[in-house]
Amino acid sequence: MTKAIKLLTALPPPQRARLMALAREVSFPEDTRIFESGGTADRFWVIRSGAVSLDQPVNELHRVTVAALGAGDLLGWSWLFPPHEWDFGAVAFSPVRAYEFDAAAVLRLCEEDPELGLLLVRKVAEVLAHRLEATRGKLMEQYAMHRRGGLV
């Protein structure tokens, strides 16, 4: 499995400083819905402290948790790809402090500094690859449990 990547520490200091110049400190109380699947993805966060659950609606009454994020993790990547809509929902599992970034401002910065843009896209891709592998592992575990239980 790929190693979990922490976006800010993965960037070289000069690019990290340029990105952090756009950061705004925010906080979310426990049980706050940060964004909803299908909503407009116009920002992203790097979690400083606390925990966030990513979820996917199964139907009108039920959601399934697909990932848990903590300190250093990137929250939100849909801002980078059209149609710029959240693929999942996110809720603060505990009180959360984070750096918030306006997507339009970050994209402008990436156009001004193509080296930063390429680094950022690569690092986000690494985050996505790690999460995809983690999800695949969870699905394989569930499959194995169901086979042992005779449910498959």
59 token code pair: 């139907």
Q: What is the pLDDT of residues 102-115, one digit of tens each?
A: 999 999 999 999 99
Q: Which of 8-12, 42-46, 55-59 has the highest mean pLDDT?
A: 42-46
The predicted pLDDT at position 106 comes to 97
**Burial of 15: CB neighbours in 10 Å, binned 0-12, 13-18, 19+:** buried
Categorize the per-residue pLDDT at 3 as very low, low, confident or very high, splitting at 50, 70 and 90.
low
Binned at pLDDT 50, 70 and 90, residue 2 comes out as very low
Is pLDDT of 31 > 50? yes
CB-based contacts of 119, cutoff 8 Å, min separation 6: 11, 12, 15
- What does the alpha-carbon distance between residue 88 and residue 56 come to, in Å, rounded to a whole number? 5
The confidence score (pLDDT) of residue 85 equals 96
Rounded to whole angstroms, how far apart are CA atoms 56 and 49?
A: 23
Distance in angstroms between the alpha carbons of the first and the last residue of the chain: 26
To the nearest whole number, what is the mean pLDDT of the chain? 89
pTM, rounded to two decimals: 0.86
- Token pair 């426990």 in the structure block, residue: 30
Tell which phi-psi region holds residue 124, choosing left (phi > 0), alpha (psi between -120 and 50) or beta: alpha
